[in-house]
Amino acid sequence: MNDTPPTGLAGELTRQLHAQVDQWHSAPLTLDDVQGKARTIRRRRAAVTTGIAAVAVLAVLLPAGLVLDAPGSQRPSPAPSPTEAVEPTPNPDGTFPLTLDVPEGEVPATGYLTLDGQQFVTQSGRSDLPGHVVQIAPYDGGWVGIRAGDYPPTGAQVVVLDADFEEVSAVLGGSALAISGDGGRVAWVEARGNGDDWTVVNAPTDGGEQIRTPTRPDTQVEGFLAGDAVATSHFENPDDDYSYGQATPEGEFDAIPLAGYQYVGGVSEASGLVAGQTKFLGDSTCSEVRRTDPAQPQLVFETCDYRLSGQFSPDGRWLIGYATYSDLGSPTLAILDATTGDPVVEYVSSRQQADAAVVHAAAWEDDDTLLAVVEQGGEQAVLRLEADGAATRVSDVREAQMSIEFFLPQHLFGQ
């Protein structure tokens, strides 16, 4: 507690916060209210734990060879209705099938973007966008987005839209938009003047004062670090690996000791961890999770079973793991424990060519739920994938013609 009463604006703030609520009374909660809510929470936790346990038990009891002959390619029953819950059915090895043939679910709370339709689809409806916007976030009472197109040298613009999605401004920019874990800040790279003056912009989503850090033209934002710093990457020269830095809240650049990363998949402001690929072995890869705090031991774990080119969950507990090597989308998608690399749940494509599915992109809808752009049989859709193996299709289905039809607002474009 503080002994000295605050003065000035802080003192006025203290008085007004008390004036707002000190005389406020609400209906008291009863023990029954709380016990009811506790039962709901306990059920939800049990469902997740059961799913995890089922994965572990089945993985031990069943020979891996069964996967090829198992009815993993069998499609689940058609969705009875968009909202009816369907118990997820694991494959014999404990994984869950990666397929578009799943029940329909509610449009993601974070929405999704369609390339051809140039629309932002949310639970509130569909909104037309000015061009091929591939990332978007709330900003200054409207929106800020990345628009892909013929904009050399990056192929991207940072576009600011009003609340009705009308264009307010557009400048040449980097191809990614980073959003902080609590959604309170966004960061991008933009160019002013004749394209020589490049800046990392770190802005509160309420449109408050920006933190602007001058940078070099090929800089990309990679995500937020603790203390509102923004992790960035750039090529030293075409033959080198990426170099990494952080744009600090003071508007300066500090180095991050990430030597050895071929590229970074995700950074977590919540846990102070970074994940990315460290080795390319021809037809496989290895990846590492490390701490960004130089005062602590760097390596958390290494894996050659998953490619860590995806993001951490907003709370930093989980991490996306893709197939260790893939050219045209990943046939597997796992939610991993971010501190051990152990799989919590894994979605796996059928090995039958006719039913093969791949993941083009994935991003977190919230702390426990993934959204993924999945293609199967020439069709593409957005799926919601949960830690208990439940999957729902949350977009319409579009024909895919060697293209990505859907974009997820939080998925760093180009990652």
Partner 1 sequence: MHALAPTGVTMSRSEARDGDFSSYMHARQPSLMRTAYLLTGDRHTAEDLVQTAFAKLYLSWDKVNDRGSVDGYVRRILVNEHNSLWRRAWKRRETSTDEPPDHPHHDAYDAGTGAELWDLVQTLPKKARAVVVLRYYEDLSEAETADALGISIGTVKSQASRALATLRERAPHTLNPREEDR
Positions touching partner 1 (CB under 8 A) are 1-2, 4, 6-29, 31, 33-35, 37-38, 40-42, 109-111, 122-124, 138, 141, 163, 182-185, 204-206, 208-209, 226-228, 249, 314-315, 365-367
CB of 203 to partner 1, least distance (A): 10
Return the number of the residue (43 or 282) whose C-beta is nearest partner 1. 43
The separation between the first and the last C-alpha atoms of the chain, rounded to the nearest angstrom, is 45
Angle CA(280)–CA(283)–CA(287) in degrees, nearest 5?
A: 40
For β-strands 96-97 and 343-348, DSSP reports them as: parallel
Backbone φ/ψ region at 192: left (φ over 0), alpha (ψ -120 to 50), beta: beta
Return the number of the residue (26 or 353) whose C-beta is nearest partner 1. 26
- Distance from C-alpha of 134 to C-alpha of 289, rounded to nearest angstrom: 27
Return the number of the residue (27 or 60) whose C-beta is nearest partner 1. 27
Q: Which two tokens stand for residue 201?
A: 């912009």
Return the number of the residue (293 or 305) whose C-beta is nearest partner 1. 293
CB of 1 to partner 1, least distance (A): 5
CB of 379 to partner 1, least distance (A): 27
CB of 141 to partner 1, least distance (A): 7
Residue 295 three-state SS? coil
Asked whether 313 and 282 are in contact (CB, 8 A), the reply is no
Helices and strands in the chain, H and E counts: 3, 29
CB of 315 to partner 1, least distance (A): 7
CA-only gyration radius of the chain, Å: 23
CB of 99 to partner 1, least distance (A): 25
- Distance from C-alpha of 214 to C-alpha of 71, rounded to nearest angstrom: 56
Q: What is the largest CA-CA distance in the chain?
A: 74
List all residues 6 or more positions away from 328 whose beta carbon is below 8 Å from its beta carbon.
358
CB of 33 to partner 1, least distance (A): 6
CB of 106 to partner 1, least distance (A): 10
Return the number of the residue (195 or 249) whose C-beta is nearest partner 1. 249
Return the number of the residue (9 or 354) whose C-beta is nearest partner 1. 9
CB of 414 to partner 1, least distance (A): 23
Return the number of the residue (5 or 297) whose C-beta is nearest partner 1. 5
Return the number of the residue (228 or 396) whose C-beta is nearest partner 1. 228
Return the number of the residue (93 or 368) whose C-beta is nearest partner 1. 368
Backbone φ/ψ region at 152: left (φ over 0), alpha (ψ -120 to 50), beta: beta
69: exposed, middle or buried (Cβ count in 10 Å: 0-12, 13-18, 19+)? exposed
- Distance from C-alpha of 159 to C-alpha of 165, rounded to nearest angstrom: 10
3-state secondary structure 64-83: CCHHHHCHHHCCCCCCCCCC
